[in-house]
Amino acid sequence: MRHWHAGLAALALSALQSCADLPPPQASERPTTGVAQVLTPEDRFGDLFRAVQMRRIFRDGKTFVDAIPRRDSAAIVADYEARDDWSDAELRRFVLANFEVPEESAPAQPLGRGTHPAIPITEHIANLWSHLTRQPVQREPGSSQLAVPKRFVVPGGRFREMYYWDSYFTLLGAKADGHPDLVEAMIADFSQLVDRFGHVPNGTRTYYVSRSQPPVLWLMMGLSDATDRPTLERRLEILKREHAFWMRGRDDVSEETPTAAHVVRMADGSILNRYWDMRDTPRDESYREDVLTARASDRPSEQVYRDLRAAAESGWDFSSRWLPDDHSLGSIETTNIVPVDLNALLYGLEMDIARRCAALGEDCAADYRTQAEARRAAVERWLWNEERGAYGDWNLRERQLQPEVTAATAYPLFTGLASDAHADRVARTIRHLLLAPGGLRTTRVETGEQWDAPNGWAPLQWIAVAGLRKTGHEALAREIATRFLATVVREYRASGKLVEKYDVEKVRPGGGGEYPLQDGFGWTNGVTRALIGEYGMPDMTKDLQ
């Protein structure tokens, strides 16, 4: 039977590739955005893709989705479908013969305890910029790569492409190290992505286009030294388009239908936002993991997939923030959560657009300022936890705030949304509940997921430190910064590595999650360099334990 339909499958695939690249129909909450998308590896390679991923032909699910076909994709699919008795070894040989497969990155490996790097950490970070910087990318036929017109920085390890929210934190360090050219180049790259897709994708791969990440392009633009009017006008229009992406569906929500794409109508009629993905299929890059998670759940697979994808958009993939059952990923309900970090960032975006409108003398300032003030009021009404003294996330299903305090509580301080009184309460809560020996805790819940205790992440350290400084809590900001810096420097001196995340309880490299610990690492380099610029090197004579 496979022989019979091989030719038809190849013909259909060839026809699909020659027409507009659009996402497949969705089982629920079909987007009406009109955002054009490119074919993902699953769309393009079908059963071949699913066999490679489900049979784990490669250790890392990201390996095959980043491979580049050596010849016409339809011909490869036809040859695969011409037989149905592939062994794992034969399938691996077939893939290696027909694809340029990236080398699978190894987990971060220490040089050995007691081995001291030859150069200071600041010099090591300075040297990493050239190592992690990539030249412009032209997309090759059949590849999952998206074209990128200018130079960019990758995180490192298995992350071979440009990522959205990572890049802001990475660029903090690049600018501190005297690379304003990288700041301008990557702003241009992200602006071009908005031109093409109407939003900034999660990363520069086709399988990331159906979602974005925390909206930080306005923060990246704030690092720029550009002052010429044409550049400022273009950037204003790009930010307006990105804001429109997050607000699509605002006119469709009602009391009866309170959610549409990223938009949520609260019970009092106010508008807030959630994380969401246009697709409800397994993530290409984590296909096997998502299928197994859905199989183990008692919920509809499409909803599990949508919530897994939405959590990937949040950047917190994965965390107890999204899990009603803290230890079961299959219970994930990201799309039922109205998150404080996203809404604080959108408030910042709206205020930034308003400031840019006013600076350019355009009449859009009042509109965006009004939207920002409405969002501020809604966040204070729905996402402030008076009992905890913290900002939190609203659960639409439970109709109440999530009970746990997380590092996301610092975002309203960072973007200027929080009142002085609430900022003071948050500072006390952070000191009491989230300050750990090695920096800021992500959450206080241990689930085995990487965005939970005991891990601390560089971007969350920066958000908290900068937010506390802005609101007058300099002593606590310094305490978090110096503790985290000591953690990073201690590990660097022991292993020669800067890694993706750290265990801030035991002051060592972090763990948990879907993949091994990665080194490189873009946002750790950036935040560490920026914090050293603000606070200097930490006092390593103190006992962090």
Residues whose CB falls within 8 Å of the CB of residue 524, separated by 6 or more in sequence, listed in order = 458, 488, 498, 499, 500
For residue 273, give the H/E element and its range. strand 271-273
Q: For residue 533, which of 122, 153, 155 has the smallest C-alpha distance?
A: 122
Would you state the structure tokens that stand for residue 525, as one six-digit string?
């380099």
Could you confirm whether 317 is annotated as catalytic?
yes
The residue from 500, 503, 505, 519 that is catalytic is 500
Considering the candidates 42, 166, 317, 404, report the single residue annotated as catalytic: 317
> Which is nearest to 161 in space by CA: 522, 525, 530, 529?
522
Q: What is the 3-state composition of the chain as percent helix, strand, coil, each rounded to the nearest 5?
A: 50, 10, 40
d(CA 348, CA 410): 13
Please give the full DSSP string across 492-515, using - where no structure is assigned.
Answer: HHHHS--BS-EETTTTEE---SSS
* Residue 17 CB coordination number (10 Å): 16
d(CA 68, CA 145): 9
Q: Name residue 100's beta-bridge partners.
A: 68
Q: Which residue has the tokens 């490679």?
A: 52
DSSP of 479-498:
HHHHHHHHHHHHHHHHHS--
Identify the DSSP state of 430: I
Q: Is 500 a catalytic residue?
A: yes
What six digits make up the tokens of 518?
Answer: 């990665």
C-alpha angle 144-150-155 in degrees, rounded to nearest 5: 60
Instruction: Indicate the helix (H) or strand (E) that contains 385.
Output: strand 384-385
135 C-beta neighbours (distance < 10 Å), count: 9
Q: Are 310 and 333 in contact (CB under 8 A)?
A: no
> Which amino acid makes up residue 84?
D
Helices (H), 144-276: 164-176, 180-197, 217-222, 229-247
- 189, 49, 206: which is closest to 143 by C-alpha? 206
Residues recognised as catalytic: 317, 500
